[in-house]
Structure 1
Amino acid sequence: MVITIKKATIFALAFLFLYGCTENSNMSSNKNSGRTNPMDDPVNITEEEANEIALQQAIAEGNEVETIILQDIKFINSKMWDEYVEQYNYDSEVSEHFLQFLKDKKKQTNKEGIHTIEKINLVSIELTNDKEFSSISSNGDYVYDVLLDMKVHKESEFYMNGVTHHVYVINKTSDGLKIETVYFKGLVDDK
């Protein structure tokens, strides 16, 4: 199944319609939000709202793999490093070293590695049909092609502005599904 921003927007509109977000609804308006009634401008949702809608849709559909991928995006954007590392299939020593890097104030200030990401948004998720990964998916693991729209502070070999292609490998573990690795496949050609 492919989740796109367009589908997330349609889901949001249907949700708002079904649950009556109108001026007569019981929902309180937030005067500080700049949009007191979502129905005043239902199409103009933020990318963050679209990401959250896609995450809630995956949860509601019981799609564990897509939920993990969408949470990965959320945790990067929110800089929720403990939760981010917990999703990966790392042993405790690797997790500890990775968390030290992620929480290092100097590395954050210098925008090193993952800290260079300003924001990251979902473009699409779908099961891969890449023959390079067919042996992995035949082992009972899940392999997904994920397109992400990235905005970075400074570009590097793995972090670039624009739509980038990633391959997520998700394993079944004794602790449930975990991200084994994420392959960076580069910028998506603008064709």
Structure 2
Amino acid sequence: MAIEPQSEPDQGAGGMSLHLPGRPPYTVTDLLEFPDDGNRYELANGSLLVSPSPTPIRQRALARLLRVLDDAAPPELEALPDVNLAVSQRDFYIPDVVVVPTEATSATELMFKPADLHLAVEIVSPSTKARDRILKVGAYAAAGIPLYWRLELTEGHSLYVYELEDGEYTPPVCYEGGKVAELVRPFPVSFDPADLT
């Protein structure tokens, strides 16, 4: 959901007022001052995107996908969950999984740049489906991320694979649950999307 300016403060858990630092349009600097309240805060052109804590099935899919990618990754690449991705001062995302060069994981930087990513993955949930299916396809392509995977848990456990070509993603290839997806990028890996849950 997107947060719009309000005349009254947001009500947090227990009816307590929740004041978020800064004013729209928000920046990455503003986000760094936000409370650690269990929500995931992202930015799209300065608009605040808020997601609740992940469901257990989404956490299971995330853990299993990380295991699959870790087992298949060459030493020079590594899969990581929930990293900070700063595209600009007004565009900030937290992909569910990324694949980055192993050398980039030893940096002390708080955020990754799009050029660091070989792959971004989003695991779609009811609260994120619009942004994962539309917004992030455009945002990740514009940022130059060469590969985007969208894992659908409610639609037959399907995996949609987008590849960057001439600055845009090609129409996605769908790998349906119940069949093994044989993928070659960012490295050879095979798995059945249904096995992730």
TM-score normalised by structure 1 residue count: 0.32
> Could you say which structure has the higher strand fraction?
2
TM-score where L is the length of structure 2 = 0.31
More helix per residue: 1
Considering only CA atoms, is the larger Rg found in Structure 1 or Structure 2? 1
Higher RCO, Cα 8 Å, sep 6+: 1
